[in-house]
Structure 1
């Protein structure tokens, strides 16, 4: 079965997708295994400015290895109380088994994107410059983004939406399935008429 067949069969009789009666509320947290919690804390808190709001130190039985494993789990907060979180293990063998070793050669498409205001982006750029941390700016048209790489290679995006984001969202929601099917069929033309526009 190809992807287009899968899309067409996962629907109700009326042709609408079978969605949850209530969507999940928001991102709770995204967790990443890192080699050095203090280097990560320094980057997230001292350079970027996101506060460390919780550190959980635990030892649990891990059935994958058949023994107790100790770890430290840190959480850095966003304004909506969701978090980016990080694990480090005391046991070096477990650390290596859980650590993501093969980041993409071009990491920019494998990232976490966080909504931010333009004022927050401007402050972030000043903080990154002051710390001599490289960053990248991109105007996608439907958002403007600042990208930065954490010590362990995680790519982090801070995105600011334009004033007409609700209108753009309605357009993309209306044709989301049609555009996906078109692209999967090999029709690869761009549908982003907004790229690089000023807002």
Structure 2
């Protein structure tokens, strides 16, 4: 009963409406554009030239945004005069997962092979089928397609998310 009432009030209790953008540094804005726009098909929606970072550092920068179909964006900053260490992350450490349909997944795999872009997969996960690429900056980009059982697997009413997390924590404390 209480859970149903909370569900009805969700819009007022959870102020976050959704993802506007996720932003990372990039080595070269044009190389990044070519990957996200030409290869993945995300249109370049906005380019902002600035002379100061959000933190107030005086430096030239370019902030670029690629629009996804749901209205959210992937964004990148090129700051040529500010040092940044680009390190290749393991997919389990850091990646972004973008949802695509099954036909788009096949088309992108064919396109990747045609242009010689390496990828891993498809990997069959609990509720997803995924392939993994590295963009020109070394970031891992996962393209994923939902399986039929996705909504059931992701439903906290059915999947015991809290119980599994609590058991994990207890096991860590026991083995420590």
Q: Please, what TM-score do these two structures have when normalized by structure 2?
A: 0.81
1:115 equivalent to 2:99? Answer: yes
1:35 corresponding residue in structure 2: 27
RMSD over equivalenced CA pairs, Å = 2.3
Q: Is the 8 A contact 1:57 1:70 kept in 2?
A: yes
1:72 corresponding residue in structure 2: 62
Seen in structure 2, the aligned counterparts of structure 1 residues 162 and 100 have a Cα distance that, compared at 3 Å, is same
Of residues 39, 42, 48 in structure 2, which corresponds to 1:56? Answer: 48
Q: Which runs of 5+ in 1 are unaligned?
A: 1-15, 188-199
Seen in structure 2, the aligned counterparts of structure 1 residues 35 and 173 have a Cα distance that, compared at 3 Å, is farther
TM-superposition CA deviations, 1:109-151 (whole Å, max 9, x none): 1100111111111111121111100011110031000110011
Give secondary structure in 2 for the equivalent of 1:185: helix
CA distance in structure 2 between the aligned counterparts of 1:31 and 1:147, rounded to whole angstroms: 19
Q: Please, what TM-score do these two structures have when normalized by structure 1?
A: 0.72
Seen in structure 2, the aligned counterparts of structure 1 residues 89 and 114 have a Cα distance that, compared at 3 Å, is same
Q: Which runs of 5+ in 2 are unaligned?
A: 1-5
1:186 equivalent to 2:176? Answer: no
1:5 corresponding residue in structure 2: none
CA distance in structure 2 between the aligned counterparts of 1:179 and 1:42, rounded to whole angstroms: 41
Map 1:142-161 to 2 at 5 A.
Answer: 142-161=127-146
Q: How many residues align?
A: 161
1:167 equivalent to 2:152? Answer: yes
4+ runs deviating over 4 angstroms:
61-65, 171-174
Seen in structure 2, the aligned counterparts of structure 1 residues 182 and 147 have a Cα distance that, compared at 3 Å, is same
